[in-house]
């Protein structure tokens, strides 16, 4: 029989009676993970024999190797006779050796029995005077994969050194304000128990030992994406609720279309203006449109914000096998090619439906660019840029002919064909046409403003100036612009 016994949090009075009886058996192999425990001192004082694995902590470089050596030795001992293996606290709480031994027991058919005592966690609850059923999460400070939710209070174990405390503090400061008060509980469950309360920013200003646990209360001021998103969804739900806003309650997917487009363009304006504060605000406004539509869909029983986010996460993982899987991609071009292949496989068609997935309400330049790119993926493309230039020249000639024939409908068609060909040229040049045109519009706006200012400084009235005068002012504005660009 392999007995796994919990020693309790510290005070010998807290170990279970059955556990102490097993430790006192005269003919058993009694082994303690560590002798640095008050029950170990009581066993020694009572003349009871036992071994410990403290020597492994001194001879091996890390905990992983220590625990592996402990498990191997327990397995060796178990082959010869019954073993009583004792660990601090509750064997089922933060004891990796116990989990490994239980797994081996299932695999090899061992006869294993766990005798538990209170863990240090129960003692910490008592020391802090908190009820864990009110929302307390438990985590290992050494586990960097933990996603801390500030809606809950947290008990973080394994803060056994100042170095671990410093690392933990830096991770927590990404979420909590520096002044957020935390507590360090030392020697919980013993007469020497201490509770030290201090600001998070000062967490590593003291020494730590293996008997320390850090308590982080819930925080309403935390910077946490999940919390912020949840609050946004709650506000949107209230705005659409019985006591909400009449305007918000009247909106539908279709009525919000113009706002979605408007907000997207305001984000573009903030990007082009290189205004970080304005960009943050405008991205927030754009996010509101996503949350608004998700709320309407939830009310209709179609989907909700959770579905939007989980679908997006799944797509990102699925379409980045070079990051989350075994595929290889070292250049942006390879990534784009892989994305295209995955997307085509998902659509399961290369026919008309492949083009139907492009939303027709995109701005015309962007829509043309997408259709041309999609057609190119199907092989409907020029082999080189020379063919594109030839097509542009052809469309210019056809436009001139349409103008000569004085046919307005034909002129409009040929002008559209020319614009379409120019978009194709931008694709070959790897220039996003919408961005390029907006850049030219911005440049034109700046140059016009310069001409207006120069005309005013010369006492000229713009609409009374000759074409020669305006052209001269325009050239001067252009020269100043070029000089400014080259002097950067």
155/124 Cα distance (integer angstroms): 9
pLDDT greater at residue 371 or residue 235: 235
Structure tokens at 461: 């009235």
Task: Provide the b/e sequence for 272-303 (b: ≥16 CB within 10 Å).
Answer: eeeeeeebeebeeebebbebbbbbbbbeeeee
Tens digit of each residue's pLDDT (9 = 90 or more) over 11-39: 899 999 999 999 998 777 999 999 989 99
pLDDT greater at residue 85 or residue 269: 85
Tens digit of each residue's pLDDT (9 = 90 or more) over 439-486: 888 888 888 888 888 888 888 888 888 888 888 888 888 888 777 665
Rounded percentage of the chain residues whose pLDDT exceeds 90? 54
Lowest mean pLDDT among 60-74, 140-154, 180-194, 461-475: 461-475
| pLDDT computed for residue 461 by the predictor | 84
Q: Rounded mean pLDDT of 177-200?
A: 93
| pLDDT computed for residue 349 by the predictor | 47
Kindly indicate whether the domain formed by 2-118 is annotated with CATH number 3.40.1010.10.
Answer: yes
**Domain spanning 225-318: CATH superfamily:** MazG-like (1.10.287.1080)
Q: The domain at 122-216 falls in which architecture?
A: 2-Layer Sandwich (3.30)
Q: Rounded mean pLDDT of 292-312?
A: 95
- The answer to whether the beta carbons of residues 86 and 10 sit under 8 Å apart is no
Determine the distance from the C-alpha atom of residue 403 to the mean position of all C-alpha atoms in its chain, rounded to a whole number. 56
Structure tokens at 335: 């990534």
Edge-to-edge strand ranges of the sheet holding 153-157: 136-140, 153-157, 212-216, 181-186, 194-199
Residue 267 neighbours by CB under 8 Å, 6+ apart: 279, 282, 283, 285, 286
Q: The domain at 349-431 falls in which architecture?
A: Orthogonal Bundle (1.10)
Residue 331 neighbours by CB under 8 Å, 6+ apart: none
Q: Rounded mean pLDDT of 252-266?
A: 90
| pLDDT computed for residue 350 by the predictor | 45
| pLDDT computed for residue 378 by the predictor | 66
Placement of tokens 């403290």 in the chain: 54
3-state secondary structure the chain: CEEEEECECCCHHHCCHHHHHHHCCCCCEEEECCCCCHHHHHHHHCCCCCEECHHHHHHCCCHHHHHHHHHHHHHHHHCCCCEEEEECECCCCCCHHHHHHHHHHHHHCCCEEEECCCCHHHHHHHHHCCCHHHCEEEEECCCCCCCCCCCCEEEEECCCCHHHHHHHHHHHHCCCCCCCEEEEEECCCCCCCEEEEEEHHHCCCCCCCCCEEEEECCCCCCCCHHHHHHHHHHHHHHHCCCCCCHHHHHCCCCCCHHHHHHHHHHHHHHHHCCCHHHHHHHHHHHHHHHHHHHHHHHHCCCCCHHHHHHHHHHHHHHCCHHHHCCCCCCCHHHHHHHHHHHHHHHHCCCCHHHHHCCCCCCCHHHHHHHHHHHHHHCCCCCCCHHHHHHHHHHHHHHHHHHHHCCCHHHHHHHHHHHHHHHHHHHHHCCCCHHHHHHHHHHHHHHHHHHHHHHHHHCCCCHHHCCHHHHHHHHHHHHHHHHHHHHCC
Rounded percentage of the chain residues whose pLDDT exceeds 70? 96
Task: Give the phi and the psi of residue 327 in degrees, each rounded to 5.
Answer: -70, 160
């Amino acid at each position: 029989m392999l007995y796994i016994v919990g020693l309790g949090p510290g005070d010998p009075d807290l170990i279970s009676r059955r556990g102490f009886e097993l430790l006192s058996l005269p003919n058993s192999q009694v082994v303690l993970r560590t002798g640095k425990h008050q029950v170990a001192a009581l066993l020694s004082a009572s003349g009871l024999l036992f071994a410990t694995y403290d020597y492994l902590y001194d001879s091996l470089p890390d905990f992983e190797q220590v625990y592996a050596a402990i498990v191997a030795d327990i397995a060796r001992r178990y082959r010869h006779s019954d073993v009583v293996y004792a660990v601090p606290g509750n064997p089922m709480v933060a004891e990796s050796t116990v989990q490994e031994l239980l797994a081996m027991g299932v695999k090899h058919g061992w006869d294993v029995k766990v005798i538990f005592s209170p863990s240090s966690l129960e003692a910490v609850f008592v020391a802090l005077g908190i009820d864990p059923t009110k929302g307390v999460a438990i985590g290992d400070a050494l586990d960097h994969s933990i996603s801390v939710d500030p809606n809950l209070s947290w008990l973080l174990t394994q803060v056994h050194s100042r170095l671990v405390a410093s690392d933990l503090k830096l991770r927590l400061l990404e979420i909590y304000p520096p002044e957020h008060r935390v507590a360090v509980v030392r020697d919980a469950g013993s007469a020497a128990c201490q509770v030290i309360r201090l600001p998070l920013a000062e967490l590593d200003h003291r020494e730590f030992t293996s008997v320390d646990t850090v308590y982080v209360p819930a925080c309403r001021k935390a910077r946490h994406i999940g919390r912020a998103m949840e609050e946004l969804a709650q506000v949107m739900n209230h705005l659409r609720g019985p006591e909400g806003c009449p305007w918000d309650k009247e909106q539908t997917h279709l009525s919000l279309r113009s706002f979605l487009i408007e907000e997207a363009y305001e984000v573009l304006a903030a990007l082009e203006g290189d205004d970080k504060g304005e960009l943050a605000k405008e991205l927030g406004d754009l996010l509101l449109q996503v949350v608004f539509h998700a709320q309407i869909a939830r009310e209709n029983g179609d989907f909700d914000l959770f579905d939007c986010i989980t679908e997006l996460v799944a797509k990102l993982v699925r379409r980045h096998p070079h990051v989350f899987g075994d595929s290889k991609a070292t250049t942006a071009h390879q990534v784009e090619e892989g994305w295209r292949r995955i997307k085509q496989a998902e659509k399961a068609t290369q026919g008309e439906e492949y083009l139907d997935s492009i939303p027709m309400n995109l701005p015309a330049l962007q829509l043309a660019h997408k259709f041309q790119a999609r057609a190119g993926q199907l092989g409907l493309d020029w082999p080189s840029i020379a063919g594109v230039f030839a097509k542009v020249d052809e469309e210019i000639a056809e436009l001139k002919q349409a103008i000569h024939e004085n046919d307005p409908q034909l002129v409009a068609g040929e002008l559209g064909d020319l614009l379409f060909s120019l978009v194709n040229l931008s694709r070959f040049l790897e220039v996003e046409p919408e961005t390029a045109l907006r850049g030219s519009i911005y440049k034109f706006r700046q140059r016009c403003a310069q001409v207006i200012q120069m005309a005013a400084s010369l006492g000229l009235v713009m609409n009374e100036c000759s074409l020669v005068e305006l052209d001269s002012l325009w050239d001067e504005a252009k020269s100043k612009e070029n000089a400014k660009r080259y002097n950067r």
